[in-house]
Amino acid sequence: MTDFKSTEERIAFYLKQMKKAMPEIRRQIKVYQDASKSGKSNKQSTTIARNI
């Protein structure tokens, strides 16, 4: 874990991380919005199998 000397350093660190993550988050939101507009749902079914 990163130790910070001040609140300003902590805020700057987290803002820098958020700036790196935002393009991917925006892309995922766009994909979700496009899928919801087209009416497609991409639900995955789960199958549970037991090996006996």
Tens of pLDDT, residues 3-46:
889 999 999 999 999 999 999 999 999 999 998 888 766 566 66
DSSP secondary structure letter of residue 39: T
Tens digits of residue pLDDT in 18-30: 999 999 999 999 9
DSSP secondary structure letter of residue 6: S
Q: Indicate the length of the chain as a whole number.
A: 52
pLDDT attached to residue 37 = 87
> Is 0.75 topped by the overall pTM?
no
Backbone region of residue 19 per phi and psi (left: phi > 0; alpha: psi in -120 to 50; beta: other values): alpha
> What CA–CA distance (Å, rounded) separates 19 from 24?
10
